[in-house]
Amino acid sequence: MIDPKLLRNDPEAVAANLARRGFEFDAAAYRELDERRRSLQLEAQELRNQRNERSKAIGQAKQRGEDIEPLKAEVADLGERLERAEQALGEVQERLEALHLELPNLLDEQVPDGADEADNAELRQWGGIPVMAFTPRDHVDLGAALGGMDFEAAARIAGSRFVTLSGDLARLHRALIQFMLDLHTGEHGYEEVYVPFLVNAQSLTGTGQLPKFEEDLFRVDHDPAYYLAPTGEVPVTNLVQQRIVEDGEMPLRFACHTPCFRAEAGSHGKDTRGMIRQHQFEKVELVQVVRPHESWAALEALTGHAEAVLRRLALPYRVVSLCGGDIGFAAARTYDLEVWLPGQERYREISSCSNFTDFQARRLKARWRNPETGKPEPVHTLNGSGLAVGRCLVAILENYQEADGRVSVPEALVPYMGGKRVLGA
């Protein structure tokens, strides 16, 4: 949520920033609505004061033996007017609250201008595009040849955009999870956590998925409503919901393996082949909760932690800075890590690392106690995939394939594969 003080004091500056996203914010209409709120607040306060004064006067008049009926009628009239003013004020406040929840985060000044992913700025590459002496196959054909990837069975069980893995591929999937968690907890200073896979509407509102992205969520028929977590970011970031974190606890770093569930409502006909875009997938999520002045350095560090996974696995990748038209709703700045897939002959996203500044914290009521003032202030939150497990498996299959269809195991994963170095031998 954008700082309400900034919205009230300079809505035109907010509108100019949000326009870089392609988001239209009517500053004049907001000013008019906020002025209406202030007017109703003053009216309600004045009516309340008058009613209290007249109520006291009733008792005084009664002691003097005076006729109190006119005063009682006046108090009743003031009460009715106050009730109407408070009702109108509540309606305006509800409209303002809904408007606040619909506004995306303000963009950092370093976010590139642009309309879509074509305008994202490449920052660096690592590993280089591999040259193969044969025509590389994609992960679907490789998985079929290895006999451990079955989309038809998954379709019978659940439907499209699901997969079953078995044998070495199932073990490789598990190995990736264990390797990532060991790296992040052992070398990068993250605390491993286990969280619910079902979340409530309040948690999704806190991290910015609701109300805007409800169509992309799987809702469980239950009262109260539950949702399948679309990303580990939601339950893990909500560990600080409605908390005041003491300065000595900061920064907080959490790593978590979580399944993710997305309806992919806006992706009809997109990435229908293979494991790239599915309803169910798994990630190792990285979340940081930091002091505000440390969040930009934290973003660079978090991105480096995600990159370390790709480097240990010797997977070629690049880092891009998302432009204003492509960045996520809650993010102030985002770096995407894109891994090279020989079977598609293109880079594909495997991690997004974002600084949300105080946007999520205001919605979550997540604060830290500033030792200089002794007062609670909003924290800054960050998260990134470290990494998306399924896409990482895809990248290994396609980058480590051999001409005969066998797939080598990255050296870093050999201990997690029981010493096995080749799949399909």
H helix intervals, 188-223 = 201-207
Active-site entry in 295, 348, 391, 398: 391
Torsion of CA 234, 139, 350, 253, to 10 degrees: 60
Active site residue 36: no
HSE, side-chain direction, 13 A CA sphere, residue 59: 5
Among the options 31, 36, 174, 277, which is catalytic? Answer: 277
Q: Is 349 known to sit in a ligand binding site?
A: yes
Q: Report, in angstroms and rounded to the nearest whole number, the Rg of the chain calculated over CA atoms.
A: 27
Please state, as a whole number, how many other Cβ atoms lie within 10 Å of the Cβ of residue 175.
Answer: 24
The active-site residue, picked from 262, 333, 348, 363, is 262
The reply to whether 352 sits in an annotated binding site is: yes
Among candidate residues 203, 295, 321, 352, the one labeled active-site is 352
68 carries a ligand binding annotation: no
Active site annotation includes 312: no
Contacts of 410 (CB under 8 A, 6+ apart): 312, 313, 314, 315, 396, 400
233 vs 362: CA distance, rounded Å: 16
- H helices present in 128-166, as ranges: 139-146, 151-157
Question: Residue 334, annotated ligand binder?
Answer: no
Is residue 66 a known part of a binding site? no
* Conformational region of residue 405, where left means phi above 0, alpha means psi within -120 to 50, and beta covers everything else: left
Tokens coding 134? 């044969």
Is 233 annotated as a binding-site member?
yes
Say if residue 396 carries a ligand binding annotation: no
Distance CA 401, CA 51 (A): 81
Annotated active-site residue 349? The verdict is yes
CA distance 46 to 32: 21
Q: Which residue has the tokens 């409503």?
A: 225
Can you point out the beta strands (E) in 239-357?
A: 244-245, 252-261, 280-290, 317-321, 333-341, 346-355
Of 43, 46, 349, 377, which one is the catalytic site residue?
Answer: 349
- Is 160 annotated as a binding-site member? no
Q: For the sheet with 121-126, list strands across it.
A: 121-126, 317-321, 333-341, 346-355, 380-388, 280-290, 252-261, 191-192
185 annotated to a ligand binding site = no
Neighbouring CB atoms inside 10 A of 362's CB total 18
Whether residue 411 is annotated as binding a ligand: the answer is no
Say if residue 264 carries a ligand binding annotation: yes
CA 341/CA 392 separation, integer angstroms: 10
Secondary element (H or E) of residue 378: strand 376-378
Query: Residue 262, annotated ligand binder?
Result: yes
Residue pair 142/395 in contact by the 8 Å Cβ criterion: no
411 catalytic? Reply is no
Nearest to 315 by CA among 342, 335, 278: 342
**Does 91 participate in catalysis according to the annotation?**
no
Catalytic residues: 262, 277, 349, 352, 391
Q: Where is the binding site for L-serine, in residues?
A: 231-233, 285, 385
Give the annotated binding-site residues: 231-233, 262-264, 285, 349-352, 385
Per the annotation, binding residues for ATP are 262-264, 349-352
